[in-house]
Amino acid sequence: MINIAIDGYVGSGKSTLAKGLAKKLNYKVLDTGAIYRGLACAYKAGGYGEVCQESIDNFLNNCKTIEIFFKDELQHVVVCNVDYTQYLRTEEISMLAAQISPYKNLREKVKTIQQDFASKNNCIIEGRDIGTVVLPNADIKFFITASEEIRANRRFAQIKETPNSPTYENILKDLRERDYKDEHRLIAPLKPAKDSIIIDTSNMNLEQTIEYCLKIIKLKIN
């Protein structure tokens, strides 16, 4: 199986890049952030309260099943038989996912899902520790970045029409806080693997980024 790892900062465009590349290559793509968000939905629904090691342990003890399936190219996340897909992109769930994701035992549970998926599919898996922790032997590793301002603008453009959407200034502040937490967490901090190809998308649109990555993939795989 051919495995491609895409890591990078929030709002850098790694999710859309992964989907675009997968379509061109006819690979499957796994959005690992969606898995954490699905777990965050289940955590909230279960009423586990303030995030701490004890509450995470209780949650995982009760979390018997996590299923991923695809319908019409959309990745669904089903936790304990509840499909949370429609709730994954809210700001509340985004923030909660960021709170629960640093816990080692929760990350190990997600890593098992990711590695099983990679063992069965030619695939692209994107996240924040794929090339360093989840798939250290991936055939190709990309690390995607962009300036803070560009990333905040992209996020603002995505959600500005939704009710009660945050301001650009609040998005930028949140993004900086998440960058710091991702880079400084004790478990699987955000950083490029030694053999990652680092791509700054600040001055590249999606089509340009896809074409650039496709050239690299074809050179390395063929």
Residue ranges of domains in the chain, CATH in brackets:
1-27+123-215 (3.40.50.300), 31-121 (3.40.50.300)
CA dihedral angle for residue 116, residue 108, residue 54, residue 65, rounded to 10 degrees: 0
Q: What pLDDT is attached to residue 146?
A: 95
Q: What is the pLDDT of residue 169?
A: 94
Looking at per-residue pLDDT, the higher value among 78 and 178 belongs to 78
Q: How, if at all, do strands 82-83 and 74-79 pair?
A: antiparallel
The reported pTM is 0.86
The pLDDT value given to residue 188: 84
Task: Check residue 181 and give its pLDDT.
Answer: 87
Residue 135 has pLDDT above 90, yes or no: yes
Tens of pLDDT, residue by residue over 144-194, are 999 999 999 988 887 777 777 888 999 999 999 989 988 988 888 899 999
CA distances from 23 to 27, 75, 106, 180, 193 (A): 7, 14, 30, 32, 25
